[in-house]
Amino acid sequence: MTAEPGRESLHGWSLAMAIASLAAMAVWIAAPDLLSPRAATAAYTAWALGAFGYLFARIAGHRRWADIVTGVRVLLCVVLFASYALDPRPAWWKVAVAIAIIVLDAVDGALARREGTTERGAVFDMESDAFYLVTMCGIAHVYLGVHPLVFVVGALRPLYVCIWAVLLLFIAPRSPNRKGSQRGRIIHVALVIALIAELSPLFAPGARTAIAAVAAALIGYSYAVDIWATRAAAPAEP
């Protein structure tokens, strides 16, 4: 088996995914009724299967069971989005699908630790996490009436990648595909719990927006700490 290329080999893919995510969120905010329910489902499905199918193919030869579980998570994202696009009414079975996705996230993490983490597999997992957040934000706003503030949760990772690409023209910033911190993982779980709560039939639109505001504050705090830590770790000017 040949040596596996590092995470840096997928920077271009991560940037393309970030741009696509920001474009999708812009459409969901500016023109949520642009596509019919069936067309929206078809477009989302093509995006998910095309983007992640390509990445799944790129890790051929280094694929682990953890990567297969991550692929199942992406397929469940398609099921979740389609369930709301075709019938926007909240339902507990839809909440169960959203919970299954985060449970499988824990499963693929356990498998990766047991089998050994691959560099591209780690990016596959990281980007599927970001895609899940974008999906949940889109559902919350377009189909459940949550304020567009919820998109702060989904947009920060894509924005971070795009800003990194611009900075790369001038300096050598840290890779956006590097391993995350323990704090970041804890906050990611908190964000997912908040977004799942928004899908619950228990909450009115106003309560869902309040939850979105808390989630936006959490992820803003996480990125602010990361940026400050990066700045503090940078070598001093001679």
Higher per-residue confidence, 170 vs 135: 135
Q: Is residue 169 pLDDT above 70, yes or no?
A: yes
The mean predicted confidence, pLDDT, of the chain is 86
The pLDDT tens digits for 200-235 are 898 888 888 899 898 888 888 888 887 776 654 544
Rounded to whole angstroms, the Cα distance separating 144 from 83 reads: 12
Please state the rounded mean pLDDT for residues 167-179: 75
pLDDT, position 230: 61
Q: Is residue 3 pLDDT above 60, yes or no?
A: no
- CA proximity to 149, closest of 203, 224, 212: 212
pLDDT, position 5: 52
Every domain of the chain and the residues it spans: 7-231
Burial class (CB in 10 A: 0-12, 13-18, 19+), 149: middle
Q: How far is CA 117 from the centre of its chain?
A: 19
pLDDT, position 9: 61
